[in-house]
Structure 1
Amino acid sequence: MNLNFSIIIPVYNRPQEIDELLESLTKQDFSDAFEVLIIEDGSENSSKEIVNKYNNQLDLKYYFKENSGAGASRNFGMEKASGSYFIILDSDVIVPTQYLSEVKKALEINYTDAFGGPDAAHKSFTSLQKAINYSMTSVLTTGGIRGKKKGVGKFQPRSFNLGMSKKAFKKTKGFSKMKNGEDIDLTFRLWENEFETQLIEKAFVYHKRRSTIQQFFKQTFGFGTARPLLNKKYPETAKLTYWFPSIFIIGFDLSIIAAIFGYNQLLYFYGFYFLLIFVDSLFQNKNLYVSFLSMITSLTQFLGYGLGFLESQFYPKKDN
């Protein structure tokens, strides 16, 4: 099978992240040629100077366009790309040396017109970034259904690490104008057009995500607002499990109120749950501080997603 990869990377005011990502791409143990397209989405802090550093090491194409969001920038890049298979990466990832080799190997064994890969925390990440990664990937949180073959239903690729054939892009027209949940929307349209998706477990990336609790809350809040819109757009995909973060947060509030009146049983349940988070994170990260932060980031994840979901469910804003 002749797979020609084009790597599409939208960037907005993050030149330092692009530097780390491009450096990791120069270290691929991959013998085939591949191109890299950087789509600068109207940044005030341009990454062009950083990109120019790698012109002699990578087949690079740099485009500057007016700000229109990540989805439109990815579509722009795929329109410009010359490859037969597109790989979409967020600018805040670092790619392991074997990444492209693992993608090619998996697609040669089991070809699908789209795939997704998991994410992990790099040893260089801050303690908070490691804690956020734990919360977003742990089996003890809603992140546990992401990046797992045993997750709920068919695998839904996420845009920080996503591949799609040129054929599938032409058929689906790529990402929609949704500000959040555009990758899930794309997955549903891929399925509607009878394209298969798969998880390539070994094609993981190191994903920085957000660097503060406030940024992480805002991100998860956005994820939460997207789900009711997707449920309305694709009612056959709606599941009761999507309500879980909201129910969790409501229950947490009720447990505190009940404790004020001397009823501590529900609060004990939440205390035991966060103790499990602490122990599990300690087992995975071998760091007490990261384990402590994991309790905070897990609560932040539930709070952000749960509140975003409730707001969008009962006070929906127009989104495409």
Structure 2
Amino acid sequence: MFFSIIIPLYNRPQEINELLESLTHQTYLQFEVLVIEDGSTADAKTVVEGYSNRLDISYYVKPNEGQGFARNYGFAKAKGDYFVVFDSDCLIPPDYLNTVKNYLYSHPLDAYGGPDGAAASFTPVQKAISYSMTSPFTTGGIRGNKKGIGQFHPRSFNMGISRQVWEKTGGFIITRLGEDIEYSIRIHKMGFKIGLIADAVVFHKRRTSFVQFFKQLHFFGRARINIYKFFPGELKLVHFFPASFTLFLLFTIITNVIKTPLTYLCNIILTIFTLLIFFHSLISNKSVKVAFLSIIAAFTQLTAYGLGFIQDLWKRVILKKS
């Protein structure tokens, strides 16, 4: 099995350097790497050229259209039997491709996704953000969890498709705002077999500050409504949780200001939720600092996603604006 690794890139030369370095340590060597520079002003040409004698690597430059169409560009150039997509802020463990290859031989899949986690080298903030994005108390276990809710949808930070899927689907039809989930749903609806390879883990750096994290998750909340416009049936009850949490948090703040009979109950509920996050993160990360930061990350994630979700639900669904 020959893999084509597709990496869209926009103004992140340092990130691609760390990602490519991790790929040089793969134990399975039947793969090529395609880096698609999507109209960057700070390009990574010099960085990529530095790996020309260590990887089977190609570098392409195209006008900026967003990550979805940059991946399509890579698919069209790829030579592999199977296309693997990574985000540029990932680090890939040495046994990743070997794990995927062995799984696909024993459990054939047309498309797959894998989990993400935090590497030991990550900062405490990055570890807290990673915890928040994978915690059962924030995402409900829908991101790379064997016991996740509903149909599993691979995400673009760690996903793969067969050449047949690319040829039949034509790739991404939107380039941002939930493009990977839309593509995963469409692959499933066309009858292809999708699955989770639980051991195909990547280390996902995500954002380095809570401000950046807030902006990213606000975008994710808006993206869920964008997916709803394509597939109304894919909007599940679990997707309303961040918005409900955001409204509950606002209500709790108001009750504490005006002192209503519900103030005590709201504070108790919020305290229990906060303690659950703290102790679960403490057990998972074995760090008091990361556990405290996980509370900030979780509240940031839920409120940012919730606000983005509410914003576009009101604008695009209730008011029916474009």
Q: How does the TM-score come out when normalised to structure 1? A: 0.96
Larger mean Cα displacement after TM superposition, 140-149 or 299-308: 140-149
Sequence identity (%): 49
CA distance in 2 between counterparts of 1:213 and 1:13 reads 20
In the alignment, is the contact (CA less than 8 A) between 1:121 and 1:133 conserved in 2? yes
CA distance in 2 between counterparts of 1:65 and 1:229 reads 26
Deviation at 1:256, TM superposition (A): 1.8
Deviation at 1:17, TM superposition (A): 0.9
CA distance in 2 between counterparts of 1:318 and 1:44 reads 33
Larger mean Cα displacement after TM superposition, 284-293 or 83-92: 284-293
What is residue 95 of structure 1 aligned with on the other side?
92
What is residue 307 of structure 2 aligned with on the other side?
307
What secondary structure, in the 3-state scheme, does the structure 2 residue paired with 1:142 have?
Answer: coil
Deviation at 1:287, TM superposition (A): 1.4
Which residues of 2 match residues 73-152 of structure 1 at below 5 A?
73-142=70-139, 144-152=141-149
What secondary structure, in the 3-state scheme, does the structure 2 residue paired with 1:221 have?
Answer: helix
After superposition, the C-alpha distances for 1:107-132 in whole angstroms (9 at most, x for unaligned) are 00111110000001011111111000
CA distance in 1 between counterparts of 2:173 and 2:127 reads 31
What is residue 190 of structure 1 aligned with on the other side?
187
CA distance in 2 between counterparts of 1:54 and 1:229 reads 38
Q: Which runs of 5 or more residues in structure 2 are unaligned?
A: none
Deviation at 1:178, TM superposition (A): 4.4
Match of 2:48 among 47, 51, 75: 51
Deviation at 1:236, TM superposition (A): 2.2
Match of 2:178 among 156, 178, 181: 181
Deviation at 1:207, TM superposition (A): 0.3
Deviation at 1:181, TM superposition (A): 0.7
Change in 2 beyond 3 A, CA 1:318/1:127: farther
After superposition, the C-alpha distances for 1:70-102 in whole angstroms (9 at most, x for unaligned) are 111000000000111100000000000100000
What is residue 281 of structure 2 aligned with on the other side?
281
What secondary structure, in the 3-state scheme, does the structure 1 residue paired with 2:108 have?
Answer: coil
Match of 2:256 among 256, 259, 279: 259
In the alignment, residue 271 of structure 2 is paired with which amino acid?
Answer: G
CA distance in 2 between counterparts of 1:50 and 1:33 reads 22
What is residue 8 of structure 2 aligned with on the other side?
10
Match of 1:26 among 19, 24, 48: 24
Q: How does the TM-score come out when normalised to structure 2? A: 0.95
What is residue 61 of structure 2 aligned with on the other side?
64
What is residue 167 of structure 1 aligned with on the other side?
164
Deviation at 1:156, TM superposition (A): 0.5
What is residue 199 of structure 2 aligned with on the other side?
202
Deviation at 1:271, TM superposition (A): 1.3
What is residue 298 of structure 1 aligned with on the other side?
298
In the alignment, is the contact (CA less than 8 A) between 1:252 and 1:267 conserved in 2? no
Asked if residue 218 in structure 1 is aligned to residue 215 in structure 2, the reply is yes
In the alignment, is the contact (CA less than 8 A) between 1:24 and 1:96 conserved in 2? yes
In the alignment, residue 285 of structure 1 is paired with which amino acid?
Answer: N
In the alignment, is the contact (CA less than 8 A) between 2:91 and 2:204 conserved in 1? yes
CA distance in 1 between counterparts of 2:133 and 2:124 reads 14
In the alignment, is the contact (CA less than 8 A) between 2:66 and 2:175 conserved in 1? no
What secondary structure, in the 3-state scheme, does the structure 1 residue paired with 2:64 have?
Answer: coil
In the alignment, is the contact (CA less than 8 A) between 1:256 and 1:267 conserved in 2? no
After superposition, the C-alpha distances for 1:253-278 in whole angstroms (9 at most, x for unaligned) are 11122223152211121111111111
After superposition, the C-alpha distances for 1:153-199 in whole angstroms (9 at most, x for unaligned) are 12100000010011101111111224211111001110121011100
Deviation at 1:238, TM superposition (A): 2.2
After superposition, the C-alpha distances for 1:41-85 in whole angstroms (9 at most, x for unaligned) are 111111111111111111000001111111110000000001111
In the alignment, is the contact (CA less than 8 A) between 2:112 and 2:196 conserved in 1? yes
In the alignment, is the contact (CA less than 8 A) between 1:136 and 1:143 conserved in 2? no
Larger mean Cα displacement after TM superposition, 293-302 or 141-150: 141-150
